[in-house]
Amino acid sequence: MRYFFQKKKAEPIKNGTEYYCNHPLYNSCTLYSDGQKGLAVIQQRFDRTTKRTWWSMIDREVVDPIYDKAGFMDIFDKFAAPPDRGLYPTLTVRQIMWALKMKPLKKEPWETVFDHEPV
């Protein structure tokens, strides 16, 4: 039996910020930064009416649990970098949750999967 991340009531976000950019894959993401370098995290969305998918910020309920998880700073140090033309290294929410050994979000049938490489 698989267990998935249980979202709790959304509280004000303490860590991570909404970041808007001109990335070829997405226009907005959740950015974890230390002032000099940063790591963008994205999540795929789906519109049932138009059957369109897009990438954007991660759900508010997972922003702080990801940051607070033991090992986050190791992942951050491994992937984060200063921006290159306003773009930061990017991981999907599922990639970072697996790297942190967190229970994953429930996978939807319409989700695109990136292999174990940063976006």
Range with the poorest average pLDDT among 7-11, 13-17, 37-41, 111-115: 7-11
Burial degree of 74 (CB within 10 A; 0-12, 13-18, 19+): exposed
For residue 13, the SS3 value is coil
pLDDT value for 78? 96
**pLDDT of 74 over the 50 cut:** yes
Q: Where along the chain do its domains lie?
A: 17-99
Per the prediction, the chain carries an average pLDDT of: 88
**pLDDT of 45 over the 80 cut:** yes
**pLDDT of 12 over the 70 cut:** no
Residue 27, phi then psi, degrees to nearest 5: -110, -15
Asked if 54 and 44 count as a contact pair (C-beta separation under 8 A), the reply is: yes
Rounded mean pLDDT, 8-29: 85
**pLDDT of 35 over the 90 cut:** no
pLDDT value for 109? 86
pLDDT value for 2? 60
